[in-house]
């Protein structure tokens, strides 16, 4: 197991910290900080071996949400994702996951006087491929004494690994969000080559049997890519694929990767896709992008950091 990350001195006095979860962990050094015009904050955090991960603090109308990384890099290799293009380095440990959360929580506390109310594992990496560490982290997040996060306010974004989804459902430590992005196996293989091991014929039944509480719906994430998966025909096929699933569909216009082949559809086509799904009786939303002016999409800040030739440098950049 990796040794604990080095603590970072913080300007928040010990007596001003909340008990329980927020007071008991080391902090990670912040190599870079950026703040967007919409209040989004992005941190590049240093791990004990000199590797780095990204964490984003998103300001919502009624809450603050932490977007968290589970791996350094990612083995899935989605063609629309900057992290996927950087390859896989290693998993984070449970201690590193918690240190990431508390470091971001301290940053938010210093800026706003509030602790985060929600957490989403939607940053770098595939969380369910780091399941042991994720489970340990989630148990601390949801079961810690004092202020902690409700499991209903934690979302785990995954390409969909059926047996791990089954286990996550049994544990009731978080809710899933499945990164679908395609309505046919052939298209999904092209867009998400690393997800071939978990075909749609196995994934969809796993989502249908997932034990959702109350009136909760399965969150389906669908990145809209111009001329690839954005027509009304694709919307109809997505509707047919989901069948009887209670689902809310988050439509995410593609955030182009520099040098990559994909672009977002225009606003009219994006809204048209959502309208087509709603006409079929589906619940669909176009997700607002957070921090576009600070490269808040997954992997972009780390990629720039590595391109700068500072990938093992311990220097910090604190300006927005």
Could you tell me which residue, 16 or 166, shows the higher pLDDT?
166
Mean pLDDT of the chain: 85
pLDDT over 60 at 206, yes or no: yes
Residue 290 confidence class, pLDDT cut points 50, 70, 90 = low
* pLDDT for residue 16: 39
The average pLDDT across 152-162 equals 97
**Kind plus residue range of the DSSP H or E element containing 38:** none
Distance of CA 112 to the CA centre of its chain: 22
What's phi and psi for 267, nearest 5 deg?
-60, -40
Q: How many residues does the chain have?
A: 320
DSSP structure class, residue 235: H
**Intra-chain end-to-end CA distance of the chain, in Å:** 34
- Give the ranges where 243-281 is alpha helix by DSSP (H): 267-279
SS3 254: coil
% of the chain at pLDDT higher than 90: 68
Residue 5 confidence class, pLDDT cut points 50, 70, 90 = very low
DSSP structure class, residue 27: P
pLDDT over 90 at 289, yes or no: no
- Fold for 17-306, please state it: TIM Barrel (3.20.20)
How does pLDDT run across 302-320, given as a tens digit for each residue?
A: 455 444 554 433 333 332 2
* Residues labelled as active-site residues: 54, 298
pLDDT over 60 at 295, yes or no: no
Could you tell me which residue, 111 or 208, shows the higher pLDDT?
208
Residue 15 confidence class, pLDDT cut points 50, 70, 90 = very low
How does pLDDT run across 25-47, given as a tens digit for each residue?
A: 679 999 999 998 888 999 999 99
* pLDDT for residue 227: 96
% of the chain at pLDDT higher than 70: 82
Burial 8-22 (b: 16+ CB within 10 A, else e): beeeeeeeebeeebb
Question: Quick one: residue 87, left, alpha or beta (phi over 0 = left, psi -120 to 50 = alpha)?
Answer: left
SS3 242: helix
The average pLDDT across 270-290 equals 93
Domain ranges of the chain: 17-306
How does pLDDT run across 46-89, given as a tens digit for each residue?
A: 999 999 999 999 988 788 999 999 999 999 999 999 887 778 99
Round to whole Å and give the CA distance between 93 and 278: 41
* pLDDT for residue 280: 98
pTM of the complete model = 0.84
Burial 42-55 (b: 16+ CB within 10 A, else e): bbbbbbbeebbbbb
Could you tell me which residue, 302 or 109, shows the higher pLDDT?
109
């Amino acid at each position: 197991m990796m040794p604990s990350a080095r603590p970072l001195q913080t300007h928040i006095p010990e007596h001003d910290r909340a008990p329980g979860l927020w007071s008991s962990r080391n902090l990670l050094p912040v190599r870079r900080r950026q703040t967007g015009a919409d209040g989004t904050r992005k941190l590049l955090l240093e791990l004990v071996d000199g590797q780095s991960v990204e964490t984003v603090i998103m300001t919502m109308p009624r809450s603050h949400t932490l977007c968290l990384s589970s791996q350094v890099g990612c083995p899935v290799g989605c063609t629309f994702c900057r992290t996927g293009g950087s390859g896989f380095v290693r998993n984070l440990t449970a201690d590193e996951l918690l240190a990431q959360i508390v470091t971001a929580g301290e940053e938010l506390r210093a800026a706003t006087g509030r602790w985060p109310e929600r957490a989403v594992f939607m940053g770098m990496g595939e969380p369910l491929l780091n399941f042991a560490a994720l489970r340990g982290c989630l148990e601390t997040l949801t079961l810690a004494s004092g202020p902690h996060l409700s499991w209903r306010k934690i979302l785990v974004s995954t390409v969909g690994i059926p047996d791990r989804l089954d286990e996550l459902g049994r544990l009731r430590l978080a809710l899933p969000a499945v990164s679908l992005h395609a309505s046919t196996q052939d298209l999904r293989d092209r867009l998400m080559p690393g997800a071939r091991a978990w075909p749609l014929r196995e994934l969809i039944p796993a989502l249908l049997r997932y034990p959702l509480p109350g009136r909760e719906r399965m969150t389906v994430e669908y990145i809209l890519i111009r001329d690839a998966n954005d027509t009304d025909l694709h919307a109809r096929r997505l509707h047919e694929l989901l069948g009887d699933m209670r689902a809310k569909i988050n439509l995410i216009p593609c955030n182009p990767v520099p040098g990559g082949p994909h672009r977002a559809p225009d606003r009219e086509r994006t809204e048209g896709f959502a309208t087509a799904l709603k006409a079929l009786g589906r619940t669909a939303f176009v997700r607002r992008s957070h921090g576009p002016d600070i490269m808040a999409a997954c992997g972009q800040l780390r990629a720039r950091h590595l391109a700068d030739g500072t990938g093992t440098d311990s220097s910090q950049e604190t300006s927005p």
